[in-house]
Amino acid sequence: MGVRLDSKARFARVPAGMPGPTIHDVALRYVDPEYRHQLKEVTPRARLDVRGARLKSYNLAPAAEPVPPKLEQRARTFLMAQSAGGGLGLDRELGFVILHRCGKAFYFLLVNTWRGSNELWETVLYKENEATEDFALFPSAGPHRAAFCVWELGPVTHEKEAWVKFLKSERSGRDQEHYLEDTFSGMV
């Protein structure tokens, strides 16, 4: 008996040698056959010191369509206001923010901090053109949710390495500064 897919693309036990589609014969449900991947650019921005956290900041966008300065300032102002009122729930933390341009007028604002010594925690905010006046929590339903897209994994991977280096240090104030100064830039 081997594992094969039945006609409804679910795994089922069928006797080996029996005809039927295999995983290689079925189009992947969540990969659009028309999708063609394009590179985006990660640009480190000015650090953001908010109530409860010191955050590195990155913009992520197509090189030909960077994040508009007005929108970047809007995101920074929003984070400052939210943290001042305790809305982000940050408490003496280090981390990073990614402002990701996902299309012509849709943006994710990802606030990431290190907790539990080695865990990356995240608040996902979004803004969609003028339909949303400001950034808001991104709705999430179901137990299996999106984490990071392939572009976001560029700075996230760098940040993981920078955090490991910090964890191996004495974790002094100077080591915190080294962590905050260690940024990533480039095409992803």
Q: What is the pLDDT of residues 57-112, one digit of tens each?
A: 999 999 999 999 999 999 999 999 999 999 999 999 999 999 999 999 999 999 99
Record the pTM.
Answer: 0.85
pLDDT for 21 beyond 80: no
Amino acid symbol at 32:
D
CA distance 28 to 24: 9
Task: Summarize the confidence of residues 19-42 as an average pLDDT.
Answer: 82
Q: What is the domain partition of the chain in residue ranges?
A: 1-36, 41-187
